[in-house]
Amino acid sequence: MKERIHKDVIIIGAGMAGLTAALYCGRMNLDTLVLENGIIGGQIANATDIENFPGFISVKGGDLIATLQQQAENFGAIIDEFDEIEHVTLKSSPKIIETQEKIYECDVVIIASGMNRRKLPLPEEKKFAGRGVHYCQLCDGAAYNGKIIAVMGGGNAAVDAANFLTKYGQKVYLIHRSEFRADEVSQKRLRANKKVEIMLQTEIKALRGDKRLEEVEIFDKKSGETKTLHVDGIFVNIGVVPNTKLFEDELKLTASGRIPAGEDCKTEIEGVFAAGDVREKEIRQLTTAASDGTTAALLAEKYLSKLKG
């Protein structure tokens, strides 16, 4: 039988939002557990050169997160990255989070489960995943030293990936089906690099190769031409999927699959907060994730004080 354990606060996700909430909850002496089912740090764990987090000229994601994790743990928060959540019941009192190993009862749940990368939407994706199709330039980029690389996407993540991959590739194509959404500074850096060829209004229609990816078929929407491009690897950055599957039966979600909650991070269920990129909001940045984590933690403490009289 699974062990039953009570916690004041359970935080789901150890990204910027979850770890900030953990730091604040721990500092307010709340018995706090963070459950993480991927990499501590979430989206930012592997990012290089973060230049817009206040207080740092430039910082690596890994360094920022390691410090934040230490801060949260120093204040007593426990972070468990090995026990996966199987089921949540949020409407009950206490709220129940059942993991593979334990059953947690808690008064507050802070959902900070963020988002994941969207997969390349072609049937060949499965065949070439890890054999030419990649999602993490920092993890897999070095394998393409001197090779021909394509990046798919037109937002900040895609342009950052393309800029980074120019370290390795002899040639880097940026292929996007419409116009850029990335910020001007990143676009300008990319355009200035002679290794880069930008192909906007261009769709990737097929992937080909024997054991590994060897070429992609592209369709130029302006000219109506179909071409074959030799590429050794393609790094896909075409958007994200909010991590909300676990909460589908418990909370109403927005059309984009995020959790509706205002600036106070309160969801429709008392004692349940949504913080960071998983919350429906316009601006999704590290600073806004940290801000949500702060708000959720401070209002969680208020809620707990009232609950406990």
Ligand X SMILES: Cc1cc2nc3c(=O)[nH]c(=O)nc-3n(C[C@H](O)[C@H](O)[C@H](O)COP(=O)(O)OP(=O)(O)OC[C@H]3O[C@@H](n4cnc5c(N)ncnc54)[C@H](O)[C@@H]3O)c2cc1C
Residues that bind ligand X (CB under 6 A): 12-18, 35-39, 42-44, 47, 50, 52, 85, 112-115, 157, 160, 243, 246, 276-277, 284-287, 289
261 and 279 Cβ atoms separated by less than 8 Å: yes
Q: Which is nearer to ligand X, 83 or 124 (CB)?
A: 83
Minimum distance of ligand X from residue 226's CB (angstroms): 31
Tokens of 252: 């109403």
Catalytic residue among 139, 183, 249, 264, which?
Answer: 139
Minimum distance of ligand X from residue 294's CB (angstroms): 12
Minimum distance of ligand X from residue 247's CB (angstroms): 9
Dump the DSSP string for 192-229. T-TTEEEE-SEEEEEEE-SSS--EEEEEETTT--EEEE
Rounded CA-CA distance 200/184 in Å is: 15
Minimum distance of ligand X from residue 127's CB (angstroms): 25
Q: Which is nearer to ligand X, 223 or 262 (CB)?
A: 262
Minimum distance of ligand X from residue 123's CB (angstroms): 26
Looking at residue 236, the DSSP 8-state letter turns out to be E
Q: Which is nearer to ligand X, 8 or 277 (CB)?
A: 277
215-220 and 226-230 beta bridge pairing: antiparallel
Q: Which is nearer to ligand X, 81 or 197 (CB)?
A: 81
Q: Which is nearer to ligand X, 113 or 295 (CB)?
A: 113
Q: Which is nearer to ligand X, 174 or 218 (CB)?
A: 174
Catalytic residue among 80, 83, 136, 220, which?
Answer: 136
Tokens of 159: 């342009």
3-state SS class at 99: strand
Looking at residue 245, the DSSP 8-state letter turns out to be G
The reply to whether 140 belongs to the active site is: yes
Q: What angle do CA 300, 304, 309 make, to 5 degrees?
A: 150
The reply to whether 136 belongs to the active site is: yes
The reply to whether 292 belongs to the active site is: no
**Dihedral angle sign, alpha carbons of residues 269, 274, 279, 283:** positive
Q: Name, in order, each residue with C-beta under 8 angstroms of 161's C-beta and a sequence gap of 6 or more.
A: 137, 151, 153, 235, 237
Rounded CA-CA distance 7/94 in Å is: 10
Minimum distance of ligand X from residue 185's CB (angstroms): 11
Catalytic positions: 136, 139-140
